[in-house]
Amino acid sequence: MLPQIPRLSDYGVSPTHGFLPDTLPLTRLPDPYYNRWEAIVANLQALILSRRLRGVVDRLPVLSTVGLEHDAEWRRAYSLLCFMAHGYIWGGDSPADRLPPPISVPLLEISDRLEVPPVATYAALCLWNYKPLFVDEEIDNLENLATLNTFTGSLDESWFYLVSVAIEARGAPIIPLMLSAIAAAREEDTATVTASLRAFAERLTDLTNILQRMHESCDPTVFYHRIRPFLAGSKNMAEAGLPRGVLYEDGSGTETYRQYSGGSNAQSSLIQFFDVVLGIEHRPTGEKQDPTSGSDREGRSARHNFIQEMRRYMPGGHRRFLGDVSRVANIREYVEDHTNDTQLCLAYDACLAMLSAFRDKHIAIVTRYIITPSREVRARSRSRSPEVTRQRMNLAVASRKKENQGAQSQRGTGGTALIPFLKQARDETGEPAVEEWTRRFMKRQVRTEGRGDFFLGKDDDGAPLVTEDVEVKGLAGSWTMEDDVGGICLF
């Protein structure tokens, strides 16, 4: 007997808003008991700039979570405490390796309740951190969105989060659409499957158009130097000043240091849903496709542990939803069994092509916002004295490394591995293509943004680029090619 197709309501997934909450995030906790949290986050930028945040937090009482009632209140509290936590850790001249009880005690309780780690996840930064300017207008329109919390108070930071919010909102209708397609495939309803895939491809084009608006209001230099440091987690952050991670003080006397990934778009359930429903398989970075091995999704998921690791940072219901969808996904197999139906195959290949184009745009953005600024930082650092470069230690400063380190000591810091991974993920998106012309089309060399650039303007066969050694901490960690430490990035 076939497993039941997941019902969105069982997982906290909205048929209209997708992985965004069905009700708008609260702009403020209703109970005045939590006014202290609200006041700190409302003044977060000033407290960080004046170096007073840590002293204010240290003097806070430990507030109980008993006053939190509805899910929206728990989500608001989680987002508030995550902003406070990352501001506390990264908002000084050197990072703090201990979170005091006023933050850690309620954050640990709230995280358990929401089934998310006690760190600034994609959910805390994006999914639960927005409001519409006009409630009678759609939230998939960037011009109708504003953030609730930021670290810097800058338009650049708000825009960075809101682009993701708009993508989540615009992509939300794809979720029930493709669940219906799965049901239609079970009934051999080819017309419905084809129509669903066509609608999917059109909506993916909309998502790419939203993504490429990132440059409109988010400056790469501002992002790299002012925003990105606050998004870092505590995993593999020794060079940034957290060799053991962060100690979450809870008063038990048995606390141990914890290491978590920081906020990353890899934690978006929507993008992983696209791969799952289309039957796209991702291999460990650098591993070529074996045409004789056939499809082995379960084995690949176990080996490519980065994808599974990022699911741990999604809300529990969303994580379970992806797992259950993977057990019923049948679109790829259905198309492969009906290769004589030209319209069906074209519709499926169109989805792969549009998702590949989305990843092409992501490669361009990562290059512009992370790779290029990192190279500029390294070039400038060669002309500075060690005393100057040691004055402030954070994620941006730690993105340099000693010139004379050997290959083994560079493990986990190979910045140039970021682009090869993204290119491989894009290429893997096109592998299930049915039509030969589609495979050729998606293997083309894209020469748009970044033309002539080292990373985007040169042909490559997917092999790692080793001409230049650039260390990049990503949005929350070090990018690496080492399969035994996660495949694409360390957090």
Could you list the residues known to form a binding site for heme b, using ranges: 362
CB neighbourhood size of 24 (10 A): 15
Which amino acids are annotated as binding site, given as ranges?
Answer: 362
**Total residues belonging to the chain:** 491
Number of helical (H) and strand (E) elements in the chain, helices listed first: 21, 7
Element (DSSP H or E) covering residue 433: none
List, in order, residues 6 or more apart from 228 with CB less than 8 Å away: 370, 395, 396, 473, 475
Name the percent of the chain in helix, strand, coil, to the closest 5. Answer: 55, 5, 45
- Rounded to whole angstroms, how far apart are CA atoms 246 and 385? 30
Q: Is the CB of residue 318 less than 8 Å from the CB of residue 19?
A: yes
- Rounded to whole angstroms, how far apart are CA atoms 477 and 235? 7
- Rounded to whole angstroms, how far apart are CA atoms 290 and 482? 20
251-256, long-range: CB < 8 A, 24+ apart = 251/101, 251/105
List, in order, residues 6 or more apart from 14 with CB less than 8 Å away: 8, 20, 21, 22, 172
Q: Both tokens of residue 179?
A: 């669940």
The torsion angles phi and psi of 302, rounded to 5 degrees, stand at: -70, -40
